[in-house]
Amino acid sequence: MATKSPHTSGSKPAEPNHPLTDRVRARVAEVGLALDRRASASGVRAKRPRKTRAASLASVPGQSPEASREARSIRVVFHELGDAHRQYRLRTGQRVPEALRDAARAFKQAPSLTALVPVAAFLDEAGILSW
């Protein structure tokens, strides 16, 4: 019986090097698609869109529409993680770990996928992530 090697020449590794990063990236992509569907389903758009804090943060001058969508998606995922952690704390009565606070603070200072991964790692270790 032949066994498969995890990495043969010319093929991809069986396990990704950073599975949590891949999961976060996939979730951000899912949220981006949902935001696109929601925007296109709204039909007629207002001539002057409402100015919201999230919109003003996500719309950096000179930023491409794709980068703007990704920034919005990353923020939505961050807020989902925050909601999930708050629900977890309500059930368990635990306090927010200082390291999680630091990771969230770092994300807020420079929102990016790489800054979102440490936040998601805390929730994954606690078994909170459903994706």
pLDDT per residue over 29-82, tens digit each?
999 999 888 877 766 555 555 555 555 454 556 778 888 899 999 999 999 999
- Asked if 73 and 32 touch (Cβ cutoff 8 Å), the reply is yes
Look up the pTM and report it. Answer: 0.72
Confidence of residue 6 (pLDDT cuts 50, 70, 90): very low
> Cα dihedral sign for 41, 111, 50, 68?
negative
Q: What is the pLDDT of residues 71-128, one digit of tens each?
A: 999 999 999 999 999 999 999 999 999 999 999 999 999 999 999 999 999 999 999 9
What residue spans define the domains of the chain? 20-31+64-131
Q: Is the pLDDT of residue 8 over 50?
A: no
Longest alpha-carbon distance in the chain? 67
Phi then psi dihedrals of residue 7, to 5 deg: -145, 110
